[in-house]
A and B are shown apart, each in its own frame.
Chain A
Amino acid sequence: MTKLTSQERVSRAFAHKPHDRVPRSESFWPDTITRWKKEGLMGGSREVLELLETDFHNINWLWPRPFPGDEQLVSEDAETHVVRDESGRLLRRWKHKSGTPEHLGFECDSREIWEKKYKPAFMETGLQINPAATMRAYREGRGKGRWCMLNAVESFEQTRAIIGDEVTMIAMAEDPDWVRDISQTVTDIALQNLDAAMATGITPDGLFVYGDMAFKTATFCSPQMYKDLIWPDHKRFADWAHAHRMKFIYHTDGNVNNAIDLYLEAGFDCLQPLECKAGMDIRKLCPKYGDKMAFFGNIDVMAMKDNNLAVIEHEIASKFAAGMKTNAYIYHSDHSVPPQVSWETYKAVIELVKKYGQY
C-alpha cells in the first residue's frame, strides 16, 4: 500500500479499513523527558513525538473550572506546596517533580454549596477555551497532515475534582440527582466551549474525552449506576462528535471491562489507553469487540520500565498481532512512559513499533 497521510491512516483505522501501518501516539511523565534530555534527547516531548512519527495532533486543552485563573498558594515546604486550585480544592503538589497530588480538602462538600456557589460560578465563567489558539493549533496539525482532535474532560472526573472522591461516591448512592445535576452542568459548559471552537470554522477529525472511571479491579461504580448518572453525558459527547462528523475517543484508566457494552451503546468509537496492570488486554478484547471499536494503547509500561528489550519486543509483537487483525489498532503505551525507561530503550521501542506495525 502506498504511504498514507496521518489523517488518512487514522481515518481508515477508525473505519476498520486497511491502512499502511499502525497509527502512533504517546504520552510521557515530565520526569521522563527530563531524564531523556540528560541522556541525549535534543528537545522535549514534541521532538520525541516527531521521531515516533505521531499521527495525532491535539488542538486544545479544555477543563472548565468554576474559578478560572484563581489559584492561591496556601503554604509550602521544601518539597511541596499546598494550593487552593481553580476547582476550589486544596491540593498538595510536588514542587520539583511530576506525580499525582494529595487531596487535602474540598470546599464544595455539600449540595447546598454546589447550588449556592459552585454551580452559579460555573455558569458565569463564560468561555474557557481559546478559539484563536485552537484555530492556530488546528492549522498547524493540518499543515502536518495529522489527524486533529479536540480535547475535553468528562463529567465524572469533573465531579470528583469539585466535590472529592468520597463525597462523589456517597452522593452517587444517596443523592443521585445532585450528581446528575453536576454532570449535566459541567457537560453543558464543556459542549458550549467546544461549540465556540467549532464556530471558528475548523473541521477536526475527532473528540478525545478523558476522565478515569475505574481502578485496578473494576469501575468505581456499578455499570447500572454509571448508566443512570454519568453515561447520558458521555453519550452527549459522543453524539456531539458524530453530529460534527468526528470520531469519539474515550480515555479512562483502570479496569473498564464491565462498561464496554455501555460504551458501544453510547456510540464510542475508540477506547484508550487500556491499562494492562488493571487487567485490560487487547488480546482478549479484540476478538470480542474489535469489529465494533478501535483500541488505542495497551502497551504495558511495566514491560518497559526494566529496560529489557526482549520483554518489550514480546509485549509489542503480541499486542500488535492481536490489534492489527482488526485494522483498528493504534499504538500508545497503556498510561504514560515512566522515568525508569531510558532514552536508549525508548528509541528501541520506536523501532519496534515501526517494525511490527507495518501491514
Chain B
Amino acid sequence: MSNLAPLNEAIKKGNRNEAKRLVTEAIAAKLPPREILDAMVAAMDEIGARFQRNEVFVPEMLIASRAMKEALAILEPTLVKAGITPEFTAVIGTVQGDLHDIGKNLVAMMWKGANFAVVDLGTNVSPEAFVKAAQEHKAKIVGLSGLLTTTMPAMKQAVEALRKAGLPGLKVMIGGAPITAEFAKEIGADGFSPDAASAVDLARKLAVA
C-alpha cells in the first residue's frame, strides 16, 4: 500500500491530474490491479467518513469523486483483464412526480467512487421502470430519492412494486429532504440514508446482508 499512498492522497485531495498520472504509473509498474483499486476506494471511503463528520463538504467531496472517476476510467481495462468487476450494481432514481436531482446525483457520484456499477434512471421514475431496471441489471440495491412531501407516497408505491416483483436479494434504500428512518420502516424499505456519504456505507451493508 505504501507505494500507492500518493495515489490515495491525490484522490482525497481531488487532484485529478495527479491521480491519473499515478494510476497510469501504477499500471505500468504492474502493481496488482486489486491493490490499486483498493487504494483508490480507500481514499473515497475516507472522504465519505470525513464528510459525515463535517470535516469536508460538498466541494471537496465532488473534486475527490471526479478524480476517482477519471482515474478509475484509466484503470478499468486492467481490471477487466484481471476479471475484477464492480462490487455490485445499484440502480438509482428520483421517484415519480418529483424532478429534483441534486441529492440523487451526489449519491450516484459517491456510489461510482465506491466502485459500484451505477444505473441512473434520472428523475420522475415510475415504479415499473425501477422494477425493469433492477431486473435487467440484476441490481443488488435500488436507491429511491425524493425531495417533496407530496412524492413520499410515490416512494411507497415504488417499494411495493419492487417487493411484488420478488427480486431475490434486492435491497431498497431511500433518501431525501423529508425522509426519515421511521418513514423507511413504515413503507418497508430496507434503509434510509441522510446524505450521500452515508449512502455508500448503507449500500455496502445492505448488499452483504
Contacts and interface: CB of A to CB of B under 8 A. Distances in A.
B178 interface: yes
A110 to B, nearest CB: 15
A170 B66 contact: yes
A218 interface: yes
B172 to A, nearest CB: 19
A108 to B, nearest CB: 18
A92 B58 contact: no
A278 B176 CA distance: 10
A216 B195 contact: yes
B63 interface: yes
A79 B180 CA distance: 29
Contacts of B170: none
Interface string B76-94: 0000000000000000000
B27 to A, nearest CB: 26
Contacts of B97: 99
Interface string B11-22: 000100000000
Interface string A1-43: 0000000000000000000000000000101000000000000
A102 interface: yes
Contact of A99 (B54, B62, B148, B195): B148
B127 interface: no
Contacts of B60: 173
Interface string A120-155: 000000000000000000000000000000000000
B162 interface: no
Nearest to A338: B149
A103 B106 CA distance: 14
Given A220-B57, A338-B150, A102 B99 contact: yes
A37 B36 CA distance: 62
Interface of A is mostly: mixed
Contacts of B100: 99-100, 102
A170 B63 contact: yes
B45 interface: no
Contacts of B148: 99-100, 338
Given A100-B148, A217-B195, A339-B150, A225 B57 contact: yes
Given A94-B99, A103-B101, A277-B177, A169 B150 contact: no
Contacts of A80: 99, 124
B194 interface: yes
A216 B194 CA distance: 7
Given A100-B147, A277-B177, A278-B177, A218 B57 contact: yes
A349 to B, nearest CB: 16
Interface in A207-224: 215-222
Contacts of B66: 170
Among A92, A166, A302, A340: residue with most chain B CB under 10 A: A166
B159 to A, nearest CB: 19
A305 B149 contact: yes
A101 B99 CA distance: 6
A136 B20 CA distance: 60
B6 interface: no
A100 B101 CA distance: 9
A234 B103 CA distance: 25
A-B pairs with the 6 shortest C-beta distances? A102-B99, A173-B59, A169-B59, A172-B59, A338-B149, A220-B58
Interface of A: 29, 31, 79-80, 92-94, 99-103, 165-166, 169-170, 172-174, 215-222, 225, 258, 275, 277-278, 301-302, 305, 338-340
13 contacts: A93-B99, A99-B99, A99-B150, A100-B99, A102-B100, A102-B101, A169-B62, A215-B177, A218-B195, A220-B59, A221-B57, A338-B149, A340-B150
